[in-house]
Every structure is written in structure tokens, then in C-alpha cells.
Chains A and B, each alone.
Chain A
């Protein structure tokens, strides 16, 4: 593999890791507050559809993003209603939300656009296009030179290649997702809200005794979860790809869940886990199989690797993953 190919694979890694990272941080907020969320997939899918649909109709990607977030928040609200207000089973609620999203998106897409459950292809302002950082070789430079972009990049030196291909040219949401990592760390570990949020996931009774509302804190946590899943879904449909197609999240919500466990519910580790899983996806996308020291790794192994790694971590053979203690249990206030 030459240098340019490596840079391109890493560039693709960043793109593939972005929705994973956003969804992973979303799950982090929810699970740290004691609400298991296997509905990340459904929220992302719902957001992907509504962002693409509204962007296609209005031609404005920002309106699309807002609608995507709103749709994801609606599902979060339903999850909260079931698992916080009515103290239902959080896992079953998550499963239900995933199916709800998977069915509703196709149903509404068919009714609005009659294209077999997809939205029309998004163009120009209906999409999040790449942000050109200064000094980067981008489409404008290519147009000025009147030559294809790939050719210009191939001729540039390594520093320029890294800057133009790997760091510049991503959509704004990629940079947002990267900024969300320190922000999440700061909110969770350096603010009063974060302390309370973590406490409510470990020992809600103690938080309640201190006179703080468990219900309100948990709803706040799943609202943040909805917001982040909304951005993740919008990125999928309006940034990574140009429009919504049926089941376009294709298990990313579950990979994010795997990354969350892999990262043991910590923000910076979530970044590394998502980059690792993003790299696996990027490799699977580019190569049919990978040669590693004389052994051929089939593409299916790379598809399955995030899940296998997570099971190994869960099994506790390589550092045990211990979830927040009150996770999955509805809080019943003593009377």
C-alpha cells in the first residue's frame, strides 16, 4: 500500500467513524444516566430519513438537519415515556423503536416520494458539502487548474496530501463530531450536571436523597442522546451519502453500541474505538480482502470484527467492561 492509498483509507476512516462516534457519544450520555439504549440504530435511521426528506423538499440542508434532530428527539421521548415514566423494560423499548423507525421511514418515504422507499438524490445546497480549509487542494483549485482533483493531489507532497485529503474537505458535521468528544468529556467530568448525570446512573437513590429529580436528569440525558443521534443520522443521509435509502444505517447503531462497550463508557476511548471500527469499515469498503503476513483476511471477517472484539471485551478476558451500576433498572421512588 503506497502513501497516498494509506492517506485515502484514513480519510475514509474519518468519514466512516463520524456517524459511529456521534451515536456512540449519544449512547454514552444515555447509559451513563442509567438508561440502556439499543435504539440508537432506529433514532439514526429516523433522523437520516427526515433530514434527507426535508432537505430534498426545501433544498436547505440546515432545515433538514433540524428535522432529523426533531425526529430523533421524538423517538427519544417515546423511549423516555416507556422506560422512565412507565418504568418499562428499556431493552424491549429500544427494540421496538428500531422496528418502528425501520418501518415508518420506508412507509413515509414511499408515500411522499414514490421511489421505492428512498428520497430523491440531494444536490448542492441540500447536502453538507466539504469544508475547504486554507491552503488545501480542493475542487476550486482543481477547477482553476482545469484538471481532475485526484491528479492534483497525487502530484502534491505528503504534507499537502495529508492536509488536503485527510484533514480538509470533510463536511462540517465531521468536525462537529470531533469537537463533541472533548465537549462530552468536559460536560460529564467537569460540570455539576455531569456529576449528577453520572451519579444517577450509579446510584439514583442517592441523587434523589439530595433533592435532585432523577426523572428530569434522565430525560435530559436521553434528550442529549436524541440530539446526537439526530446529527449522526443527518450526516449519513446528507453528508456521507446524497439521500436516504432503506435501512441505510445498516447496523451502525449496533456498532456504536459495541464501540461504547469497547470504550468502557468513556469519551476519549469512544473516539479511539470509533476510529478503529471506522478503519475496519473503510478497509472492507476499499479492499475485498486484506493480506496480513501471508494470511488472507476475508472481507466478512472485517465486517464481523467490531462485534467479535466487543464480545471479547465483554467476556472480560482483556480488561473487564463494567457498565454503570443502575443501568437498565427503572427508578422507583420510595413512598
Chain B
């Protein structure tokens, strides 16, 4: 028995056979924020063969309360999360091959990243990228584990192509959120709980103990002491365009993606959601007014100034991010405040 993994091998459902399977597996973690750092640490300590982790952002002081791989030094030096994560993960377990990319993941990047991958862990913070992950997972037949949290609430579901409903079956429409971790906050235990659910399911998949998978959509609220679990098998939709018989993988096509453009000479990036829709600016103003920034509203648009950036949100859903020419930075701000 390998001493390093002895306690995990003593756990009968894994055993030495499971451990040797783990060492041959490659997991892709998309996002290196709260969920991503949590999942990556569990998987690397467990001794998987290879971990790829990608993120477009850098470490900030406000991350340290819950993003477990980062230090004050990373925040001071604004180290990209993918780089700081890799450094820490390699110190934890040098036997695992850790690959990291500082990258804004969209369709093209993901098509490359999923090569030779056994499992995709969702550690993202928005549904645009999750719908792309969902379509890719169906296209290349790789399972993925949805996980998300905000406040003291968390939710997770394991998606197995060809067996379970996919995220598109479950959602039907992509939620246009108003609450995010940057608007209503997040407590670390909610993150850890989602990570625990996600990584337990991951270990089952990686040791090929499919019988033991949870099969239910789970949510919890650690502050309100609530827990819910629903068997969603019946939600699987044969007409689903992502996983049904006449699948077209709609989120891999250009027209369904969130589009960004740098506005010439204006130090501004425009973000245009795939479907223009009426945004409720009044309720958004209420949420954003609890933030540090300054909110002003007129019948056509909402303006929100924070730091040296200004977000202008139009009723049709378009957003201008002033104060940057960097698309990745603009997207980060967009998802931080608008979900």
C-alpha cells in the first residue's frame, strides 16, 4: 500500500484498485475561484494523474476569505489565479501533473482543453460558459459536474452524457441573474459544501463506481438549515438541442454566445448577451445600490461606477464597460456584478 494514499485506499469503495485508476485520470477544472481552488486541492491531494486548471482573472484581497489556494502575497502581486493555483498545488503534491492556463475560456479554447480529459469540473461563475461546457460535454461524451453557490446557498448536479438530463434540459432558459457573490456575498462553508458534493461525485466517476453516484439535483442553505434533493431523471428531454436525438449543440454556435467588442478609441468594451431581452433596471439598481459603487438610473439605462470603471447597462441587456480595453477584465466585471 502506498503510504501517501493509505487512508484513501483503506476506504473500501476506493481501495488500491481505485487508487491505481485515479492515477491514470485527467480532470479539467474550469475556473480557479472559490469552487475551483477547493476542487483542485481535493483532487490533487487524492492523487489523480493530471489536473488542468484554467482562469482569466488575478488574485485580489477579497478572494482570500474563501479561495483556499491563495495567499496575501498572491493578492499583493496580483498573480493570475491559474499561476498561483499551480504553484500551490505542485507544493501539495508533486506527483500530480498540473497544467494551468491564464485564459478566457470560450468555445475554441474548450474544444482544445477537453482532449484526453476524463471529467470536467464546473467552477465557473456564470451560465454563458456553463452552457458551452454542457454542449461540449455532450459532443465529446465526457461527464461534467455543475456546482454553484451564493450567500449560504449551494446547488450541484452530475451530468452524464447519454444517461442523465443535461443542463439545457434542466434550465430550458438561461437564467439572467441579478444576484452574485459580489452583490449578496458568500460564506466559505457554502463553497466547501458544494466542493464536497462535487469532488465526492468526481471520485466516484474517476474510480468508475458509477453505481454510487447520487443521481439527484441537490441544493442546500447552510444559514437557513435547509436541504432539498430532487430526482430529475424525467426532465430529460428527447427534443433537447444539446443532448436529444436531433442535437445541434446550439451554444457552440456563434449566434448564441455572449459577444464582446472593444469600442475604438473609447477605452470601453461592449458586452452583448446572446438574446437581447428586457432587463429590469429598477430591481438591478436596488441590488447594485448595496455595493460600494455609485448607481444612477434613467428610463433607458443604469450607470454603475466602481473604482475606475463604469458599467452602463441598457434595457435590452447590452452592457458597456468603460475604463478598460481588456475583454477578459470587462467580462470579469460583467459577471461579477450582473451574474
Q: Do A and B come from one complex?
A: no
Give B residues with C-beta under 8 Å from A: none
Q: Which residues of A contact B (CB under 8 A)?
A: none
